C-alpha cells in the first residue's frame, strides 16, 4: 500500500477496470470479468453462463447486420425518382413495397400484381388489401404467359418465360409512369442455384434492391415483424404452375383444378381446427396428385383420411411432408433449387 494513503478501499476501487460501455461485445474472449479479491485467481464463467454470453453476442451482431442492411436498402431506394414494385403479395415483395413507401412516400410508389390463371384469386385479393393499407396505387395488369410456347411446355426453364412475360408487361407501364421496375428477389434467391426467372428479370433491366442490400429471407421476415406487416410469417405462395409436374402441358383447366383442390383442403383442415401453413397439391399426371403439408398435419391426415376427400377430383393421392421445390427433383442433370416464387 503506498505511504500516506489512509483509505485502502479507495486504492482498490481506483484499480478496478473501467466499465465497458460498448453495446455489443465483438468476441466472447473480449468479455471483461469483474475484479476479484487480492490473492484469488480470476473466476471463469460457468459453461451455462458462457453459452448465454455467446448467444447474446451473436444475437446483437445479427441484429446489427440486419439494421445495416435495411439502411442500405433505404439508401438504394432513395436513388430512384419513382418505382413500380412487381407485387405478388408474398413476404418479400410486400416488404419491398413497404420499404419503398417509407423511403419515397406513397406518391412515388406503385404496386402491380399480374393477373393470370397461374395466380390464385385469394392471393390477388390479399395483395389488394395490403396495398390499400399502405395507401399505394395498385395496378392489376393481365399477363399472357400461357400464350408462350416455352411456358406451356412446362420444362425446367418455365419460370424464365413467366418472368419474361411479367417484365415485358410491366416495363412499358413503368416507362409511362417514369418509374423503375423493382422485383422482390432477395439475397438467398441470388445464391439458390437454378433460378431462370432471375435471369429473365435481369435481362430486362429490372432492379432487385433487396438482393443488392444483402437482405436474406429471414432478415426480411424479422424486419417485417418489427414493422407490423401481416405478411411477416406468410408461407411462400408460388404460382400454380409450380404444382404441375414438369413435362405436362400447362392448361387453364389443370391450374384451376389445383387451385380448387388446395382451397378445399385448406378449408377442410381449418374447419377441423387446424392451423394451416405450407400446403401444396401437386399434379403428377395420369389423375395422380401428391398432397404436401407441414409435418404435424401429415399425422392428422393419416388419422383422418376422409379430409383428403377435398381433393376428390384426382383419382389417387399420396401424402408427403411439404418440401419447397420438390418438383425440381425430376429435372435430371439440373441442380435442385428453391421453388420458383412470384416474388
Domain ranges of the chain: 63-226, 240-329
Identify whether the C-beta of residue 250 lies closer than 8 Å to the C-beta of residue 151.
Answer: yes
When pLDDT is averaged across residues 218-231 and rounded to a whole number, the result is 97
CATH fold label, 240-329:
GMP Synthetase; Chain A, domain 3 (3.30.300)
pLDDT score for 238:
83
CA dihedral sign of residues 103, 201, 192, 340: positive
pLDDT score for 233:
93
pLDDT tens sequence across 107-161:
999 999 999 999 999 999 999 999 999 999 999 999 999 999 999 999 989 999 9
Please give the Cα distance from 68 to 169 (Å, whole number). Answer: 34
pLDDT tens sequence across 295-304:
999 998 988 8
The residues that bridge with 250 in the sheet, in sequence order, are none
8 or 149, which is more confident?
Answer: 149
3-state DSSP assignment of residue 27: coil
Examine the pLDDT at 12 and tell me if it is beyond 60. Answer: no
CATH superfamily of 63-226: HUPs (3.40.50.620)
Examine the pLDDT at 214 and tell me if it is beyond 70. Answer: yes
Q: Among 59-68, 86-95, 305-314, which range has the highest average pLDDT?
A: 86-95
Q: Answer whether 63-226 and 240-329 agree in fold.
A: no
Beta-sheet pairing, 279-285 with 180-182:
unpaired
Please give the Cα distance from 330 to 233 (Å, whole number). Answer: 29
The three cell numbers locating residue 3: 505511504
Identify whether the C-beta of residue 157 lies closer than 8 Å to the C-beta of residue 123.
Answer: no
Please give the Cα distance from 78 to 260 (Å, whole number). Answer: 42
Examine the pLDDT at 188 and tell me if it is beyond 60. Answer: yes
pLDDT, averaged across the chain: 83
Which long-range contacts link 105-108 to residues 24+ away (Cβ below 8 Å)? Answer: 106/134, 106/135, 106/136, 106/137, 108/80, 108/81, 108/82, 108/83, 108/179
- Burial environment of residue 91 by CB neighbours within 10 A (0 to 12, 13 to 18, 19 or more): buried
Please give the Cα distance from 117 to 326 (Å, whole number). Answer: 22
Instruction: Using alpha carbons, list the distances in angstroms from residue 30 to 20, 24, 105, 329.
Output: 11, 11, 43, 47
Please give the Cα distance from 154 to 242 (Å, whole number). Answer: 9
The three cell numbers locating residue 115: 393477373
- Burial environment of residue 212 by CB neighbours within 10 A (0 to 12, 13 to 18, 19 or more): middle
- The gap between the terminal CA atoms of the chain, to the nearest Å, is 71
pLDDT score for 51:
52
Pick from 171-180, 226-235, 304-313, 324-333: least confident: 324-333
The three cell numbers locating residue 2: 503506498
Whose cell is 481506483? That residue is 14
Identify whether the C-beta of residue 324 lies closer than 8 Å to the C-beta of residue 339.
Answer: yes
Whose cell is 408427403? That residue is 320
What is the reported pTM? 0.77
Please give the Cα distance from 323 to 141 (Å, whole number). Answer: 31
Phi (first) and psi of residue 341, to 5 degrees: -110, 160
Band (323; pLDDT cuts 50, 70, 90):
confident
Q: Give the largest Cα separation in the chain, rounded.
A: 99
Please give the Cα distance from 59 to 247 (Å, whole number). Answer: 45
- Burial environment of residue 72 by CB neighbours within 10 A (0 to 12, 13 to 18, 19 or more): middle
pLDDT score for 264:
93
Examine the pLDDT at 56 and tell me if it is beyond 70. Answer: no
Amino acid at each position: 500500500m503506498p505511504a500516506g494513503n489512509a483509505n485502502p478501499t479507495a486504492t482498490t476501487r481506483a484499480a478496478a477496470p473501467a466499465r465497458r460501455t460498448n453495446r455489443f461485445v465483438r468476441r466472447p474472449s473480449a468479455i471483461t470479468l469483474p475484479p476479484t479479491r487480492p490473492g484469488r485467481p480470476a473466476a471463469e464463467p460457468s459453461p451455462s453462463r458462457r453459452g448465454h454470453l455467446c448467444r447474446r453476442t451473436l444475437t446483437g451482431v445479427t441484429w446489427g447486420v440486419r439494421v445495416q442492411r435495411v439502411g442500405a436498402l433505404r439508401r438504394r431506394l432513395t436513388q430512384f425518382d419513382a418505382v413500380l414494385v412487381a407485387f405478388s403479395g408474398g413476404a418479400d415483395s410486400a416488404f419491398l413495397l413497404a420499404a419503398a413507401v417509407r423511403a419515397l412516400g406513397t406518391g412515388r410508389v406503385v404496386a402491380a400484381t399480374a393477373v393470370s390463371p397461374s395466380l390464385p384469386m385469394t392471393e390477388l385479393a390479399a395483395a389488394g388489401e395490403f396495398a390499400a393499407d399502405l395507401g399505394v396505387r395498385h395496378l392489376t395488369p393481365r399477363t399472357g404467359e400461357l400464350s408462350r410456347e416455352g411456358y406451356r411446355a412446362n420444362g425446367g426453364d418455365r419460370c424464365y418465360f413467366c418472368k419474361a412475360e411479367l417484365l415485358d408487361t410491366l416495363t412499358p407501364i413503368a416507362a409511362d409512369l417514369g418509374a423503375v421496375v423493382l422485383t422482390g428477389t432477395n439475397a438467398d434467391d441470388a445464391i439458390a442455384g437454378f433460378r431462370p426467372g432471375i435471369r429473365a428479370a435481369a435481362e430486362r433491366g429490372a432492379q432487385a434492391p433487396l438482393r443488392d442490400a444483402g437482405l436474406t429471407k429471414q432478415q426480411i421476415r424479422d424486419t417485417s415483424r418489427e414493422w407490423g406487416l401481416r405478411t411477416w410469417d406468410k408461407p411462400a405462395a408460388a404460382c400454380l404452375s409450380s404444382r404441375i409436374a414438369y413435362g405436362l402441358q400447362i392448361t387453364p383447366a389443370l391450374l384451376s383444378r389445383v387451385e380448387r383442390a388446395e382451397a378445399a383442403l385448406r378449408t377442410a383442415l381449418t374447419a377441423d381446427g387446424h392451423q394451416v401453413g405450407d400446403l401444396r397439391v401437386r399434379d403428377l399426371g395420369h389423375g395422380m396428385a401428391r398432397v404436401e403439408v407441414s409435418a404435424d398435419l401429415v399425422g392428422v391426415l393419416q388419422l383422418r383420411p376422409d379430409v383428403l376427400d377435398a381433393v376428390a377430383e384426382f383419382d389417387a393421392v399420396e401424402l408427403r411432408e411439404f418440401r419447397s421445390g420438390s418438383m425440381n427433383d425430376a429435372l435430371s442433370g439440373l441442380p435442385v433449387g428453391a421453388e420458383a416464387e412470384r416474388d
